[in-house]
Structure 1
Amino acid sequence: MRVVIASCSVDYSGRLDAHLPRATRLIMVKADGSVLVHSDGGSYKPLNWMSPPARLAEVAPDEEDAEAGVTARWEVTAAKTDDRLVIRLFEIVSDTSVELGVDPGLTKDGVEAHLQELLAEQVELLGPGFRLVRREYPTPIGPVDLLVRDGAGAAVAVEVKRVGGIDGVEQLTRYLDMLDRDPLLTPVRGVFAAQQIKPQARVLAEDRGIRCVVLDYDAMRGLDDPSSRLF
C-alpha cells in the first residue's frame, strides 16, 4: 500500500462529475488497484475514490497545471468503464509504501460464523438446485463466505452478515470483480444474505444486480416451528 499526504486537488468524471479544490488530504493507493482520497473528517468514508480494477499513471503536469503550481499529476482510469480520477499534487508532505501481504480477512462474530455454516448446510434456501462448491472461497483480496452453483450450474458468490449494511455490499462487489476474472467461473452472480438488511444496502445491492436474501436464524437452527405460529 502507498500512503501519501499531500496538498492536492481532485477531479472525477464518469457517471457524474465532481471536483475537490486544493487542500491537504490523505491518498491511499492499494495493491488491488483502488485509489481513495480522504480528509481529516467525515468518518471512514473517502471524499472520492476509484474502485478496482483501475490503473494509475503518473504524468508530468501540462503547461497550465505547472503555472498553477502543480508538481505532479496522477491519472486513474477504470478498467471496465470510462470513469476517470485526476489528482493534481501541489506539495507532498509524506509518501510511504508498505507491503502489507495477504490479509486473512475479517473474523466474524459467533452468529455470523454460525449463519455461514448453517447456510452452507442448507444451501437449498437460496433456491432449488443450488449446491455448495466451497466455504471461504479464496480471492486475491480475501475469501468470500460461500461459492455455490445454481440449478443451471452458474457460479454464485454469497456474502453472509448478521446485519447487512452498505459496507457488506461493497465487500461483495469487490469479490465479484475478482471472481469474474476467472474464466472457469465467469459470469459470477452475487447473493447478499443476512438476518437483517438495511434499506440503503438493499437499494445498492439491487442496483448492482446483487440478490438479497433474509435469513431466519432460529428456523435454520430448528428452533422455530412454523406450525406453532398464529399468523
Structure 2
Amino acid sequence: MRLVVADCAARYTGRLSAQLPRATRLLLVKADGSVLLHSDGGSYKPLNWMSPPCRLAVADPDDEQVAAGVQQVWTVQHTKSDDRLVIELFEVLHESAHELGVDPGLVKDGVEAHLQELLAAQITLLGPGHTLVRREYPTAIGPVDILARDPSGGTVAVEIKRRGDIDGVEQLTRYLELLSRDPRLTPVRGVFAAQEIKPQARVLARDRGIECLVLDYAGLRGMDDPTARLF
C-alpha cells in the first residue's frame, strides 16, 4: 500500500462529474489498483475513489498547471469504462509504501451460528426440562435453527437472530405453520431468540403466540461476571 499526504485537488468524470477543491488529503493506492482520497474527517468513507480494474499514470504538469503550482498529475483511468479521476498534487508532505501481505479477512464474533451453538448447548435457557432434538432441523422451506422438546413432550421451534426484527418473526411463523402439519411434532410453539429484539417484532410475536428470548452472548459464553454489575 502506498500512502501519500499531499496538498491536492481532484476532478472525477464519467458517469457523473465531481470536483475536490485544493486541500490537504491522504491518498491511498492499494495493491488491487484502487485509489482513494481521504480527508481528516468523515469517518471511514473516502471523499472520492476509483475502484479496480483501473490503472494509475503519473505525469508532469503542463505549462498552465505549472503556473498554478502543480508538481505532479495523477490520472486514474478505469479500464472498462470512461470513468477517470485526475489528481493534481501541489505539494507532497509525506510518502511511504508498505507491504501488507494477504489479509485473512474479518472474523466475526457473536454471529447467528455462534448463538445457535451456545443456545443448543444450554437448551434449558428455554425453560427447565427442555431437551434438544437437533440444530438446523430441515424443512421444505429451510432449516429451523433449533428444534427442542418441552417437559410435556411438545415441540419448540427456535429462530435465532443477532438483531430480531419483523422479518425474523415472519420467518418463524412460516416454519411453525409447516411444522404443525406433521402429527409427530404437534403441538408446536415458537421461540424468537435474539441479542436485541425490536419493539415492533415483540408486538408481532406476541400477537402470534410466539415467545421472545433475549440472548446474552457474554453470558452464554460464560464470560459474564455478575460481581462487575452495578445493577
Per-residue CA shift, 1:3-60, capped at 9, x if unaligned?
Answer: 0000000100111100011110000000011111001111111110111221111011
TM-score normalised over the length of structure 1: 0.53
Q: Distance in 1 between matches of 2:162 and 2:53?
A: 28
Return the offset for 1:114.
Answer: 4.6
TM-score normalised over the length of structure 2: 0.53
2:128 maps to: none
Q: Distance in 2 between matches of 1:63 and 1:92?
A: 19
Contact 2:176 2:189 in 1 (8 A): no
Listed as ranges, the matches of 1:1-231 within 5 Å are 1-112=1-112, 114=114, 228=189, 231=208
Q: Distance in 1 between matches of 2:69 and 2:10?
A: 14
Runs of 4+ residues deviating >2 angstroms: 112-115, 222-231
Return the offset for 1:75.
Answer: 0.3
> Residues 89 and 108 from structure 1, CA distance in 2 versus in 1: closer, same or farther, beyond 3 angstroms?
same
What number of residue pairs does the alignment pair up? 147
Per-residue CA shift, 1:117-157, capped at 9, x if unaligned?
Answer: 9xx998x969xxxxxxxxxxxxxxxxxxxxxxxxxxxxxxx
Return the offset for 1:162.
Answer: 5.8
Q: Give 5+ residue unaligned stretches, structure 1.
A: 127-160, 164-194, 197-213
Return the offset for 1:228.
Answer: 4.0
Q: Distance in 2 between matches of 1:4 and 1:111?
A: 37
Q: Aligned AA for 2:47?
A: L
> Residues 125 and 25 from structure 1, CA distance in 2 versus in 1: closer, same or farther, beyond 3 angstroms?
farther
Contact 2:34 2:54 in 1 (8 A): yes
Q: Between Structure 1 and Structure 2, whose CA radius of gyration is higher?
A: 2
Contact 2:55 2:76 in 1 (8 A): yes
CA RMSD of aligned residues (A): 3.9
Q: Distance in 2 between matches of 1:40 and 1:11?
A: 19
